[in-house]
């Protein structure tokens, strides 16, 4: 059966019509196609392939642009975004945008690699964290120990992220000036509609970062205090976080 190889070869030729002569010579004989299939691919008129390719690529590029979160779209120069989408579409032929929770992560990571402004990078980190969350889900088996709910996550970003996001949510351009240090831990959780973002103390971040379905709150708190005796006097506060998170169903 070579239908799979034939389809794969056709899609390659369609997406990259310019490489086709080299590719025919190097790869076509290795695919295990029937002589008829090989002949069918060689017979594809180059001009036609280029016309299809340009239309298909325009479609893919517009999908990548359309799915960039609104916050980032406000911050990025549309021309540059279009160029990056074109490069991404060309370099990653298997890339997609559905399902959003997983497929968007590499696209956002690619964008992050093109950007130097730390404040915009913080917004990307935030959007990556948000896209990974899902409020809704079917009931699932629990781990034996404690972990963060699948609707919550933590990440580290600059101190101005909340103000930047506030502006973006109101469709205003935020100021991208201001200190980027000290970096700050954030807790993000998804409600039925809006996501909630809260800056958290590093000691709480330390504990949340270790919850992975193993151990309980008290154990991690003890270990934290052993390693960082300076938070000893925060013990009661750090204990109180567990019920606070539980009543919001952020632990499971």
Partner 1 sequence: MALYAPITLDDIRRLLPWVPTGPILDIGCGAAAVTLAFAEYGFPVTALDVEPDTIARCRAAYGSLADWHCADLRAFELAPEYYAAIVCLNVFPFIPSDEHGPLLQRLTRALIPGGILIFSTFSPEDPGAAYTMATRLGQDIPESTGTLTPDQLRAALPGWESWHFFQGLVADDHPPHGPHTHGLVQTIVRKPKASPGIVDWAAMPHLGAGIGWRSVLSELLNDPDSTDFLEIMTDDFTHPQYDARLLQLAQRYTVIPHGVELSVGTPGALDAAYLSDVRRVADRCNAPWWSDHICYTRSGDFKTYSLNPLPATEEALQVAIANAKGAVQQVKRPLVLETVAYYARSPLSEMSDAAFTSRLAEGANCGILLDVANLVGNQLNMGLDPHAFIDALPRERVVQVHLAGGRLHQGLLFDTHDSPVWQETWDLLAYALKRCDIKAISLERDDHYDDLRALVDEVAKARHLIGQRL
Residues that bind partner 1 (CB under 8 A): 1, 3-4, 6-8, 10-12, 14-15, 36-37, 39-40, 43-45, 48-52, 54-56, 59-60, 63, 93-96, 98-101, 134-139, 141-144, 151, 192, 249, 252
CB of 131 to partner 1, least distance (A): 10
Q: In the complex with partner 1, which residue's Cβ is closer, 140 or 172?
A: 140
What the block records as the tokens of 155 is 């990440």
d(CA 126, CA 163): 13
- Cα-based distances in Å from 33 to 3, 42, 235: 8, 12, 68
Q: In the complex with partner 1, which residue's Cβ is closer, 137 or 170?
A: 137
What the block records as the tokens of 243 is 């019920």
Q: In the complex with partner 1, which residue's Cβ is closer, 63 or 225?
A: 63
CB of 63 to partner 1, least distance (A): 6
Q: In the complex with partner 1, which residue's Cβ is closer, 63 or 200?
A: 63
d(CA 126, CA 119): 11
Q: In the complex with partner 1, which residue's Cβ is closer, 3 or 236?
A: 3
CB of 224 to partner 1, least distance (A): 26
How many Cβ atoms sit within 10 Å of the Cβ of residue 33?
18
Q: In the complex with partner 1, which residue's Cβ is closer, 80 or 100?
A: 100
What the block records as the tokens of 37 is 């299939």
What the block records as the tokens of 75 is 């911050």
CB of 11 to partner 1, least distance (A): 4
d(CA 231, CA 30): 64
Residue of 144, 174, 146 lying closest to 160 (CA atoms): 174
CB of 112 to partner 1, least distance (A): 22
CB of 230 to partner 1, least distance (A): 35
The H or E element that residue 169 is part of is: helix 161-169
Residue of 109, 101, 104, 38 lying closest to 67 (CA atoms): 104
């Amino acid at each position: 059966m070579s239908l799979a190889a034939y389809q794969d070869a056709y899609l390659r030729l369609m997406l990259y019509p310019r490489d086709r002569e080299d590719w025919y010579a190097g790869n076509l004989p290795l695919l295990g196609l029937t002589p008829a299939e090989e002949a069918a691919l060689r017979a594809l008129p180059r001009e036609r392939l280029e016309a299809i390719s340009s239309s298909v690529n325009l479609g893919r590029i517009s999908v990548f642009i359309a799915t960039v979160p609104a916050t980032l779209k406000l911050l990025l120069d549309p021309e540059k975004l279009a160029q990056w989408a074109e490069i991404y579409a060309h370099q990653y032929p298997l890339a997609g945008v559905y399902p959003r929770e997983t497929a968007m992560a590499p696209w956002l990571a690619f964008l992050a690699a093109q950007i130097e402004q730390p404040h915009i990078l913080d917004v990307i980190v935030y959007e990556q964290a948000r896209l990974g969350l899902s409020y809704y889900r079917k009931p699932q088996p629990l781990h034996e120990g404690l972990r963060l709910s699948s609707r919550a996550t933590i990440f580290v970003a600059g101190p101005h992220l909340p103000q930047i996001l506030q502006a973006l949510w109101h469709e205003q351009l935020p100021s991208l000036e201001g200190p980027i240090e000290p970096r700050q831990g954030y807790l993000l959780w998804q409600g039925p509609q809006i996501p909630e973002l809260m800056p958290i103390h590093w000691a709480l971040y330390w504990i949340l970062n270790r919850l992975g379905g193993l151990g309980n709150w008290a154990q991690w708190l003890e270990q934290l205090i052993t390693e960082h005796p300076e938070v000893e006097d925060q013990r009661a506060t750090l204990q109180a976080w567990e019920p606070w998170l539980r009543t919001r169903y952020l632990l499971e």
